[in-house]
């Protein structure tokens, strides 16, 4: 095989690799955007903290939690199914999940510092 042909084949393979790697970065349909997911998680963690300090029986606090969680989802035009799908997707993305939770922790820390 001559050198020119080898270079052309290498360029084609490199181009295909770039194209396929770009496709893998696309978020699947039905997955909540990162910024929206971050906001939802912040609200959910605030809700968990609110429930934790209530002096309620476990079954009542669980019902109260799910009621308020549903209201959070509704305010973001989503539901538990889409949230769970999105959470599982980002969990499998490593860095994206780490970035989301870094933003969540930063926001919760700022909220706590303001108290």
Per-residue pLDDT reduced to its tens digit, 61-74: 999 999 999 999 99
Q: What is the pLDDT of residue 27?
A: 81
Let me know if 32 is exposed, middle or buried by CB neighbors in 10 A (0-12, 13-18, 19+).
buried
Region class of 77: left (phi > 0), else alpha (psi between -120 and 50), else beta: left
What residues have CB less than 8 Å from 99, skipping those under 6 apart?
34
What is the domain partition of the chain in residue ranges?
29-114
Which mean pLDDT values do the consecutive 10-residue runs of the chain (115 residues) have?
A: 51 50 67 96 94 90 95 97 96 91 91 85
* CA diameter of the chain: 79
pTM of the complete model: 0.75
pLDDT at 47: 94
At residue 12, the pLDDT reads 59
Give residue 112's pLDDT.
85
Closest Cα to residue 34, out of 112, 109, 107, 87?
87
């Amino acid at each position: 095989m001559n050198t020119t042909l080898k270079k052309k084949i290498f360029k084609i393979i490199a181009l295909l690799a770039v194209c396929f790697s770009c496709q893998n970065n696309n978020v699947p349909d039905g997955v909540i955007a990162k910024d929206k997911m971050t906001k939802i998680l912040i609200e959910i963690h605030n809700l968990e903290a609110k429930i934790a300090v209530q002096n309620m029986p476990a079954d009542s606090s669980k019902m109260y939690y799910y009621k308020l969680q549903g209201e959070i989802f509704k305010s973001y035009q989503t539901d538990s199914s889409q949230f769970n799908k999105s959470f599982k997707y980002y969990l499998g993305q490593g860095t994206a999940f780490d970035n989301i939770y870094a933003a969540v922790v930063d926001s919760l820390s700022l909220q706590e510092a303001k108290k």
